[in-house]
Chain A
């Protein structure tokens, strides 16, 4: 399955925040662990609301967590 054109730094940021697990992040943003995994692997683009919640957990601006990959 093709990955989506939005990269993210969630995996790196989890480890920078006390090696936070996917389950811990999932509980803090109100989704399942499988959804966090799908977001990390760029298989699912979260809603704006969830994206902001993730950024808030890491206390970082949205564009530091998610980057749009321009084609061409």
Chain B
């Protein structure tokens, strides 16, 4: 498995944990306590950094190599899929806001849409790397 693929896996798993943790803490109140939100985001950043440092230590030469044309193409294709997911999510958020009229619902669904779109982008990257395309 290449360094970039491992990196995509790490980001995907960390973001999945962040999403689950955030919405678990947020619960039905649609707003998470600030200190818990900060703790979740700091833990997310730290976990990403630590896991990436481990992967870099295993293959420092791969990590130093700049992205080649295939890896850039994979990233672009994944970003396009993620963008469409984000557009769908934002329209869903607008629809929910019209239905419920609550600002907190809008904020929560917009954040959820961003996180899901990001997960879809990373998931697409992992899939394309797995396919070897």
A43 touches B132 (CB 8 A): yes
Hey, which chain A residues are within 8 Å of B132, CB to CB?
Answer: 1, 34, 37-38, 41, 43-44
Q: Is A67 an interface residue (CB 8 A)?
A: no
Taking CB atoms and an 8 Å cut-off, the chain B residues in 79-133 that contact chain A are: 129, 131-133
Kindly list chain B residues whose C-beta atoms are within 8 Å of the C-beta of A44.
Answer: 70, 132-133
B68 adjacent to chain A (CB < 8 Å): yes
| Chain B residues in 8 Å Cβ range of A33 | 2
Main secondary structure of the interface of A (DSSP, over half): loop
The complex places the Cα of A41 from the Cα of B70 at a distance, in Å, of 14
B49 to chain A, nearest CB (A): 23
Question: Which residues in B have their C-beta under 8 angstroms from that of A35?
Answer: 68-71
A-side contacts of B70, CB under 8 Å: 31-32, 34-35, 38, 44, 46
Residue pairs across A and B with CB atoms within 8 Å: the count is 39
When distances are taken between beta carbons in the complex, the residues of chain A under 8 Å from B133 are: 1, 38, 43-44
CA distance A31 to B71 in the complex (A): 9
Given the complex of chains A and B, what is the CA–CA distance between A1 and B133 in angstroms?
Answer: 8
If the complex has contacts A32-B62, A34-B2, are A1 and B131 also in contact, measured as CB distance less than 8 A? Answer: yes
The residue of chain B having its C-beta at the shortest distance from the C-beta of A1 within the complex is B131
Smallest Cβ-Cβ distance to B70: which chain A residue:
A35
B69 touches A47 (CB 8 A): yes
17 A-B interface contacts by CB (under 8 A): A1-B131, A30-B68, A31-B70, A32-B68, A32-B70, A32-B71, A34-B2, A34-B132, A35-B68, A35-B69, A35-B70, A35-B71, A38-B70, A38-B133, A41-B132, A43-B131, A43-B133
Chain A positions near chain B (C-beta within 8 angstroms): 1, 30-35, 37-38, 41, 43-44, 46-47, 50
Ranked nearest first, the 7 interchain pairs of A and B with the lowest CB-CB distance are A31-B68, A35-B70, A34-B2, A1-B131, A43-B132, A38-B132, A43-B133
